[in-house]
Structure 1
Amino acid sequence: MPFLHGFRRIVYEYQPLVDAVMCVLGTERGENQRRRDDEESISRALAELLDRESQSPVFTQGISYSLFRVADLGLVSAAKVLLRYGADLNFEDPVSYYNPLHIAVLRNKPDMVQMLITHGAEIDKRDRIHESSPLDLASEEADKLPCLRVLLDLGADVNAKDKNGKTALLHALASSDGLTVNNVDNIEMLLQRGADVNATTHDGETPMSSLIFLVKEALDSSTEDAKEIGHFCTRVAHLLISHGADPSCCLNAADGEEWEHSLTYTILENFDLLFPLTALLLQHGASFVCSHHSASYWTGQQLIFTRLAEALREPLDAAEVADVLAKAEVLLDLARICSPVVPPLFPRSQLPVLDQVSTHQPLLELYSKLEDQESQPLPLRCLCRRLIRRCLQPWPFEEKVKALPLPDRLKELLLPENSWTDRPGWDRFKPRRSPR
């Protein structure tokens, strides 16, 4: 028979052996069903078949592809028999170019993953089409967490990069949408095992830039989707910052000349819509100025007042006006308490101007309040609160504050955020208003 390659080779040369193996295992071609025989008798029957077929010129290819098939199904005992007869651990499926370890991860078969690796499968092997490693595949979906844990326990390189410079952490973030793919536990495990929080692809993509993209997606989503995406983004932001990411540093674009806005800038631009994440960053001690270009690039006060002016131009009722002003005051107060750098207030001449006196007045009143605060020394209670919170870092502080030998009233002073956490709607993202 002439040499046939690619998919045709499987069909015309060793497919009969593969079919025979799968029949012994109690499966029908294309179906994931097994006979209810015990594993020992199945393994014995499989060994008898392989003994009979061992002289076939396509024996190795046939049992290697059979290994791929049983890895797909998670049949560990059968896989061990095939390996004992010489199946190739790194056999590539000619259609998908995945090997048995890849397919075991994709089908979420952690026991199979462990067995293949302990028998010598290359743990960081990448497929030829997508350049994905087993760890990349395990990082992308929440249900693959058991496989992710096995791979990391057995020594997978958590910071290995594909041809584009993408690590498993970046794969996890790129596949996340906070809705159908909510893999925050995968992200947490990668970070706990040493994933580089500042990893950068050849195109300049970073974990923080991936998060910023998703935050912006929430602004253009439905109300319910924005809420779900917001919960995801807030959890991921907490993880990234807790592992050393700087949310206030602007991002260098791929060409090295342009700079993209930081996460802190992005959320302060829409603080009323992204309130829980804005508060979280400030509680974590995010800088109130660009940590790369300093106050010459942006300050938190400018961004909050600019957004406040935009919001007040919208057709808001009295309750909505009060709500957005209250959010602004809370965030400005959090910055005074938590941010390592709070710049001087910008000149009154730079205050956004609104057409109507009734809508401009709240801006003036808030600005005047900040002027008064800045003209006076920080009250002793604020200094003490700031110092104690810094000593209790990293965030969250609540359990640490509760453990302090202080009166309840002083504990409440140390946790001003508890006074607003129960306000309706302050715990979720909101999309931009549709034009009326």
Structure 2
Amino acid sequence: MWVLPCPSCLSEDSSKFLLLSDLLKRESQSPFYQEGVSYALLKVAELGLVSAAETLLRHGANLLFEDPVTYYTALHIAVLRNQPDMVELLVRRGADVNRRDRIHESSPLDLASEEPERLPCLQRLLELGADVNAADKNGKTALLHALASSDGVQIHNTENVRLLLEGGADVKATTKDGDTVFTCLIFLLGETVGGDKEEAQMINRFCFRVSQLLMAHGADPSGCPAHESLTHLCFKSFKLHFPLLRFLLESGASYNCSRHGPSCWSGFHIVFERLCSHLSNSEDDSFSTDLLQKADTVLDLMVASSQITKLPSNFEINPASCRFHGEKIKALFCSLKQLEHSPPALKHLCRVYIRQRLKPWPVDVKVKALPLPDRLKWYLLVDPSNSCEGI
């Protein structure tokens, strides 16, 4: 059996490629030639040796040849090893840019989306016409691969997500199991509860940045069912995820189920439910003060999103069920009821109108640039002391 020169020994030295060409011509009649030259293509693709790959392709290397262990083609391997120039060569020489492997059904774009180090290949594949919304047999697109592969601590696919979205990735993509673009974020945020503080901060920061990208491209975080709704999760843990909840509401996310309305789930219900629950278990003044302040801001953000305050039907609370601070909760509730049954004040209408005209998020920078008194800016911003700075 004939043997090709070791691929790692090949360089851009033209004399070595002349020797390689001579060898290939000499052995072209060997019964093992086709397999050998195609297997060599896998190796040079891994190493990014473009000139060597060109030589092998000129002498009959098969672009469809699969690694006998992984069943990846040369194009898949080039992506895995982040060799963008090799990716371009293979595609331009006829490799199917959307080809899926036989085992995992991963396309080159799927593989490129899963690691931040593969961003150059991801960009090159999109430039070469890869289908950004192609899905595998489970309905998983490259965007969903990028999100599912992120852990927020060691793997941050933020730039991969951004590139895919800018390339036209569908934020409404859903797998056959019902996973959406928010499924990964909801899972990661759940992992922060009771975990390492530093890792929790990293995960929160990652989820915030990705949420910004998704919202900027029209994603709906307030969908149904509730367990797939990022907004619903943030309402349930509004003390823990206050910055993200504030961002979602500032960006126009619905505070009710965006599909079925408040009959399904409502932010007003959840906030008061969590208030009563938390304040029934703790009498700590610092905890209760912070919680009540955040609840007040969240309620104000919901009210500031529409000209008329409309609470869910049959919306009532029982302050007596709260062991501590029942009167403060009752005061918050009564103020909302009063808003609902009173004509909207002129200052409220002005606030809603101005905030709507300043969108999209962030409105804070835009409000601060307005020629208005600081007190009015504070009112427009809805308690800027509880802003998202530092995320």
Answering whether residue 370 of structure 2 is matched by residue 418 of structure 1, we say no
Deviation at 1:212, TM superposition (A): 2.1
Cα 1:401–1:315, aligned 2, differ >3 Å: closer, same or farther? Answer: closer
Answering whether residue 59 of structure 2 is matched by residue 85 of structure 1, we say yes
Q: Secondary structure at the match of 1:231?
A: helix
Answering whether residue 26 of structure 2 is matched by residue 52 of structure 1, we say yes
How many angstroms apart in 1 are the aligned matches of 2:126 and 2:320?
56
Deviation at 1:328, TM superposition (A): 0.7
Deviation at 1:316, TM superposition (A): 5.4
Runs of 5+ unmatched residues, structure 1: 1-12, 28-33, 252-258, 429-436
Answering whether residue 315 of structure 2 is matched by residue 331 of structure 1, we say no
How many angstroms apart in 2 are the aligned matches of 1:286 and 1:340?
16
Answering whether residue 106 of structure 2 is matched by residue 141 of structure 1, we say no
Deviation at 1:161, TM superposition (A): 1.0
How many angstroms apart in 2 are the aligned matches of 1:261 and 1:107?
34
> Where do residues 267-278 of structure 1 align in structure 2 (5 Å cutoff)?
267-278=234-245
Q: Secondary structure at the match of 1:297?
A: strand
Cα 1:344–1:215, aligned 2, differ >3 Å: closer, same or farther? Answer: same
How many angstroms apart in 2 are the aligned matches of 1:348 and 1:165?
39
Deviation at 1:210, TM superposition (A): 3.0
Corresponding residue number in structure 2 for 1:62: 36
TM-score, normalization: structure 2?
A: 0.91
Answering whether residue 288 of structure 2 is matched by residue 304 of structure 1, we say no
Deviation at 1:362, TM superposition (A): 2.5
Answering whether residue 11 of structure 2 is matched by residue 21 of structure 1, we say no
Corresponding residue number in structure 2 for 1:242: 216
Once the two structures are superposed, what CA deviation does each residue of 1:75-112 show, in whole Å capped at 9, x if it has no partner?
A: 11111111111111121001000000001111111111
How many angstroms apart in 2 are the aligned matches of 1:147 and 1:193?
14
How many angstroms apart in 1 are the aligned matches of 2:60 and 2:194?
55
Answering whether residue 76 of structure 2 is matched by residue 76 of structure 1, we say no
> Where do residues 137-176 of structure 1 align in structure 2 (5 Å cutoff)?
137-176=111-150
How many angstroms apart in 1 are the aligned matches of 2:283 and 2:120?
48
> Where do residues 286-305 of structure 1 align in structure 2 (5 Å cutoff)?
286-305=253-272
How many angstroms apart in 2 are the aligned matches of 1:336 and 1:118?
56
Give the AA of the match of 1:407. L
How many angstroms apart in 1 are the aligned matches of 2:322 and 2:168?
53
What is the percentage of aligned positions where both structures have the same residue?
A: 48
Count of aligned residue pairs for this structure pair: 390
Cα 1:379–1:233, aligned 2, differ >3 Å: closer, same or farther? Answer: same
How many angstroms apart in 2 are the aligned matches of 1:102 and 1:216?
33
Deviation at 1:369, TM superposition (A): 3.0
How many angstroms apart in 2 are the aligned matches of 1:148 and 1:347?
51
How many angstroms apart in 2 are the aligned matches of 1:193 and 1:74?
25
Deviation at 1:132, TM superposition (A): 0.2
Would you say the 8 A contact 2:277–2:322 is kept in 1? no
Deviation at 1:416, TM superposition (A): 3.3
Once the two structures are superposed, what CA deviation does each residue of 1:116-166 show, in whole Å capped at 9, x if it has no partner?
A: 111111100000000000000011111111110000011000111111111
Q: Give me the CA root mean square deviation.
A: 2.4
Corresponding residue number in structure 2 for 1:390: 356
How many angstroms apart in 2 are the aligned matches of 1:122 and 1:352?
64
Deviation at 1:40, TM superposition (A): 2.3
Would you say the 8 A contact 1:288–1:341 is kept in 2? no
Give the AA of the match of 1:240. L
Give the AA of the match of 1:302. H
Answering whether residue 288 of structure 2 is matched by residue 314 of structure 1, we say no
Once the two structures are superposed, what CA deviation does each residue of 1:343-392 show, in whole Å capped at 9, x if it has no partner?
A: 32676753354453x43232123223333443433332332221122123
